[in-house]
Amino acid sequence: MRVIGLAGWSGAGKTTLLTRLIPEFSGRGIAVSTIKHAHHAFDLDTPGKDSWAHRQAGASEVLISSAKRWALLHEARDEPEATLPALLAKLSPVELVIVEGFKRDPHAKLEVYRAANGKPPLHPQDASIVGVASDTPFPQAGRPVLGLDDVPGIADLLFARAQPLAQVLALAREEA
């Protein structure tokens, strides 16, 4: 497995870009999984359903399965937030994992930048950013800068700069 991230401020278009990149990679025959970091509480389960009742009753994990998909819900309760390496270990092997968020982690990332956000770019202070997808030029970026709509070019850059899983795990250990 190889790992690459998308980093940027909220509203920059990370999710929009990711939903365009996944079919691009799939069309190239590259299996992709994603990890999405959320800064807020979220629930994938429906209140009142049996699996929700199991979690509310105190189950540590609830696995929901059907003919079309399965999902494992793990309750962190008072545990610390899961680290990116711990989450990567839970994925089935694929060729490419794209991580949305975890912008402070040391893995290689593409910055998604939109000038209308009014936020400063991340790349000048972050050496782990290997390229920028932007709606504005950055001639002094010191790394490739691609237009937000250049999905094939962005896919090429992401695949070329994705790091082997072992390298991502080693970087995380060094930082810890």
Distances (CA, A) of 58 to 39, 62, 63, 70, 77: 23, 10, 14, 20, 10
Among 48, 71, 49, 47, residue whose Cα is nearest residue 61:
71
Q: Using the CB atoms, write b or e for 101-119: b if 16+ within 10 Å.
A: bbbebbbbbbbbbbeeeee
Residues 6+ apart with CB under 8 A from 161: 4, 108, 110, 130, 131
C-alpha Rg value of the chain to the nearest Å: 18
Region 108-117 average pLDDT = 96
pLDDT value at residue 41: 66
Residue 141 has pLDDT above 90, yes or no: yes
pLDDT value at residue 56: 87
Span of 22-36, 50-64, 88-102, 117-131 with lowest mean pLDDT: 50-64
pLDDT value at residue 174: 87
Distances (CA, A) of 116 to 9, 19, 47, 101, 111: 11, 21, 37, 20, 15
pTM of the model: 0.90
Average pLDDT, the chain: 92
Band (79; pLDDT cuts 50, 70, 90): confident
Q: Which two tokens stand for residue 90?
A: 């839970």
pLDDT value at residue 40: 65
Report yes or no: 168 and 98 within 8 Å, Cβ to Cβ: no
pLDDT value at residue 44: 74
Termini Cα distance of the chain: 22
Span of 41-50, 86-95, 115-124 with lowest mean pLDDT: 41-50
Residue 128 has pLDDT above 80, yes or no: yes
